[in-house]
Structure 1
Amino acid sequence: MGQRIVTGVVAGAGFLALLLVGGGFYSALLALLALIGFHEYVRLNKQPAARLDVIAGYAAVLLMSLPTLPPGWGAPSVETVAWLLMLALLAGTVFSKNSIQLEHASLLFLGAFYIGLGFRYMSATRELEHGLFWSLLAFLCIWGSDAGAYFVGKAVGRRKLWPAISPNKTVEGAIGGLAVAVAVALVFAWIRPELLGAGRAATIGIAAAVFGTLGDLIQSAYKRLRGVKDSGTLLPGHGGVLDRTDSWIIVFPVLHLLSLLPV
């Protein structure tokens, strides 16, 4: 427990410091986390890290996790990255004479977009006008939901939410997490009413809690399928990058796709 607390405090403080600074430092951190997350995904699927199709996946994750590149670099669109990655993966099945199977290509394509787009939306949120406000809103709603679900579940949790995938989650905990996330969002609306109304804030809190829980369950289901407890070992006591960011990867795209954050 002590190691878990120390890791959480140190890693959390470092992440928040770069979030506050923003700019290239924060974008670089997110790109690095995305690459580490994809590495964990590759290992979970028992794919060799140095194979050319896997390297193409890393390149796609890097390009997608950076919504903008330095001036003059001509950042490719998501559609362009998708098509180039698809071509590289399918070509790999041909030139390897099917030693790289279609199933391998499909898993890499899915993982690149699951991880790359999730981090892309985090970086894009910070680059919005008042991006620090919107980023903190999303993160604190997610973290508030996690904390509320944990403590309420420990105190009064009785009914299992989805025991086949995550036996420790309870319905009561999920409701508690939802309430905390909405409360956090309403505090942001109270602090900056000119940016955020109460109704929109409540919707953001609900979305963060519901889709954050879904993101957690997605990763739990995948790890259970692969027979592992954690996606990695980078963060002692906390597992890997995907273990810590599974909710983020889903919530940030959802908030943008539902137009709950400014464009």
Structure 2
Amino acid sequence: MGQRLVTGIIAGAGFIGLLIAGGWYYSVLLLLLALIGYWEFARLNKQSWKRIDVLLGFVAVTLISLPQLPFEWEMPASTTVIWLLMLVLLCGTVFTKNRINLEHAGVMLLGAVYVGLGFHYMAITRELPHGIFWSALTFACIWASDAGAYFVGKAIGKTKLWPSISPNKTIEGAFGGLAVAIITALVFAYFRPEWLAYGQALFIGLTAAVAGQLGDLVQSAYKRFRNIKDSGQLLPGHGGVLDRTDSWLIVFPLVHMLGLLL
């Protein structure tokens, strides 16, 4: 517990500091996390980073996750990068005579989209007008949902939410996380009503809680399928990047696609 707490404080302080700094400081941090997350995803699927399809995935994740390129180079659209990666991977099954097969291609494409788009939307949230506010709001709702689910579940949780996937989660904890996330969003609206209406805040809190808990369950199901405990060991006591960002990767794209920010 002590190691977990120290790691959390140090990593959290560094992350928040770079979020506040913004610009390339924050974008490069997110890119590094995305690349590590993609490497963890490849390793979970027993794919060597030396294989050409995995290396192409790293290139795709870089192009997808960055909000812009340096030196005013033109940034290709995410859909363009995803389609080109798909094309190259499918052609790779032909040119390698199925040493890279359809399963490899599908898994690595899925990983590039899952990780790359998740971090992409984190980056562009910071680029919005009042980007610190919108980023802090979304992260706060995710973390509030996690904390609420944990403490309410510990206190009164009796009914298992999905025992075959995550045996410690309870329905009472899930509703507790939902309530705390909504309250957190409403507090943001109270302090900045000119930027965030109460109705909008309610939907952001609701989305962050439901999608965040779903993202956590997705990662739990995937790790259980692969029979592993953690995606990596980057953060002592916390696991890997995917362990820590599973909720983020789902929530940030979704709040944008639903038009809930701004």
TM range, smaller chain: over 0.9
CA displacement, residues 194-237 of structure 1 (integer Å, 9 cap, x when unaligned): 00011110110000000000000000000000000000000000
2:238 matched to which residue of 1? 238
CA shift for structure 1 position 79: 1.6
CA shift for structure 1 position 71: 4.4
When normalised by structure 2's length, the TM-score is 0.99
3-state SS, counterpart of residue 168 of structure 1: strand
Q: Does 1:148 align with 2:148?
A: yes
Q: Structure 2: any 5+ residue segments left out of the alignment?
A: none
1:7 matched to which residue of 2? 7
Amino acid of the structure 1 residue aligned with 2:144: G
3-state SS, counterpart of residue 72 of structure 2: coil
1:61 matched to which residue of 2? 61
Distance 2:149 2:193 in 1: 27
3-state SS, counterpart of residue 161 of structure 2: strand
Q: Does 1:123 align with 2:123?
A: yes
CA shift for structure 1 position 69: 1.4
Amino acid of the structure 1 residue aligned with 2:58: Y
1:178 matched to which residue of 2? 178
1:27 matched to which residue of 2? 27
Following TM superposition, the consecutive aligned residue runs of length 4 or more in structure 1 with deviations greater than 6 angstroms are none
3-state SS, counterpart of residue 205 of structure 1: helix
2:199 matched to which residue of 1? 199
CA displacement, residues 84-124 of structure 1 (integer Å, 9 cap, x when unaligned): 10121112111111111110000000010000000000000
Distance 1:197 1:74 in 2: 36
CA displacement, residues 23-75 of structure 1 (integer Å, 9 cap, x when unaligned): 10000000100000000000000001111111000000010001211243111
Amino acid of the structure 2 residue aligned with 1:261: L
2:96 matched to which residue of 1? 96
3-state SS, counterpart of residue 7 of structure 1: helix
CA root-mean-square deviation: 0.7
Amino acid of the structure 2 residue aligned with 1:158: K
1:109 matched to which residue of 2? 109
3-state SS, counterpart of residue 136 of structure 1: helix
Distance 1:129 1:69 in 2: 20
Distance 1:25 1:100 in 2: 36
1:135 matched to which residue of 2? 135
Identity of aligned residues (%): 67
Distance 1:121 1:40 in 2: 20
Distance 2:178 2:83 in 1: 38
CA displacement, residues 118-164 of structure 1 (integer Å, 9 cap, x when unaligned): 00000000000000000000000000000000000000000001111
When normalised by structure 1's length, the TM-score is 0.99
3-state SS, counterpart of residue 233 of structure 1: coil
Distance 1:169 1:203 in 2: 23
Distance 1:160 1:133 in 2: 35
3-state SS, counterpart of residue 99 of structure 1: coil
Distance 1:115 1:172 in 2: 30
CA displacement, residues 148-202 of structure 1 (integer Å, 9 cap, x when unaligned): 0000000000000111100000001011101110010001000100000111101
Number of aligned residues = 262
Distance 2:71 2:43 in 1: 34
Q: Structure 1: any 5+ residue segments left out of the alignment?
A: none
Amino acid of the structure 1 residue aligned with 2:252: F
Distance 1:49 1:33 in 2: 16
Amino acid of the structure 1 residue aligned with 2:114: Y
Distance 1:175 1:83 in 2: 39
Amino acid of the structure 2 residue aligned with 1:135: S
1:165 matched to which residue of 2? 165
CA shift for structure 1 position 82: 1.1
Q: Does 1:49 align with 2:49?
A: yes
Amino acid of the structure 2 residue aligned with 1:23: G
Distance 1:72 1:205 in 2: 36
Distance 1:100 1:212 in 2: 33
